[in-house]
Amino acid sequence: MRVRAGQELATGLLFILIGAGALYIGADYPMGTPQRPGTGVLPKILSWCLIGTGGVLLAQAVVLEAGVFKRALPIVLGAALAAAAVAFGAPMVGAGPAWAVVPAVVGFLLLMDRLVPGTAWRPLIAVTLATVAFGLTIDGLGLIVAMVISLTICALGTPETRWPEYVGFLLIMIALAVGTFIWLLGMPIPVWPVKVPDWLKFLR
């Protein structure tokens, strides 16, 4: 029941956060007329529906475990403070207030781990970074570099990785990938590094 209550609470908060965010962003989308509903109609309806659903989940969580909010409170407060600090602080150093999303997401993950213990942090971080690394390297550094970097990060995500086996598997994967995607299917992807990736352009 404790886990169930934690799940309901975290899901409810997630729904409310996203719903409120969408409502805030979509506040000035035009509503149009009944005959020609505008851009803003469905976003507003859906945002309110999402917030309402989140509210029901919060209520369910309290019914399941009366003290569930007490468990959540420190992290919620901390994350809210951090997000507020970033939202006001970021413009001072020339960044947008949207960076407040970062502490909000981290805060939410910490909250989820507190309410539903057992988060697999290591694979979560490794697999996410591996995907991001692939995106950051493929365009410019080519298929092989992207594969080596991203798959190695992914392999770091589990203690079960056996490194000699991994190297062999990586080589087979690279051979298969170049063979199928480049030669057979003719995808327009560079195999070797060709240029500096776009996102690194600001360095020059």
Please select the residue that binds other proteins; options are 5, 54, 100, 149, rule is CB under 8 A: 54
Q: Which string of DSSP letters, residue by residue, matches 108-140?
A: HHHHHHHHS----HHHHHHHHHHHHHHHHHHHH
Distance CA(173)–CA(189), nearest Å, equals: 16
65 binds other proteins (CB under 8 A): no
Q: Which is nearer to other proteins, 39 or 81 (CB)?
A: 39
From residue 114, give the alpha-carbon distance in Å to each of 106, 111, 182: 12, 5, 45
Does residue 15 bind other proteins (CB under 8 A)? yes
Segment interacting with other proteins, rule: CB under 8 A, options 19-27, 64-72, 78-86, 87-95: 19-27
Identify residues 120-159 at the interface with other proteins (CB under 8 A).
Answer: 120, 122-124, 126-128, 130-132, 134-136, 138-139, 143, 146-147, 150-151, 154-155, 157-158
83 binds other proteins (CB under 8 A): no
Stretch that binds other proteins, among 13-21, 62-70, 71-79, 82-90 (CB under 8 A): 13-21
The reply on whether position 30 binds other proteins by CB under 8 A is yes
Contact string (CB under 8 A) for other proteins, positions 158-177, x = contact: x-xxx--xx--xx--x---x
Q: How far apart are CA 86 and CA 123, in angstroms?
A: 28
Least distance to other proteins from the beta carbon of 160, Å? Answer: 5
Instruction: Identify which range of 6-14, 70-78, 83-91 contacts other proteins by CB under 8 A.
Output: 6-14
Beta carbon of residue 199, minimum distance to other proteins (angstroms, whole number): 8
Among 106, 19, 16, residue whose Cα is nearest residue 58:
16
Which run of H or E residues covers position 151?
A: helix 121-155
> How far is 144 from 119, CA to CA, in rounded Å?
32
40, 45, 48, 49 alpha-carbon torsion, rounded to 10°:
-150
**In the complex, least distance from residue 54 CB atom to other proteins, rounded to whole angstroms:** 7
Residue with tokens 């007490």: 70
Of 77 and 158, the one with the shorter C-beta distance to other proteins is 158
Interior angle at CA 148, CA 146 and CA 154, nearest 5: 95
Are 78 and 28 in contact, with CB atoms under 8 Å apart? no
Touching other proteins, residues 88-117 (CB under 8 A): 98, 105, 108-109, 112, 116
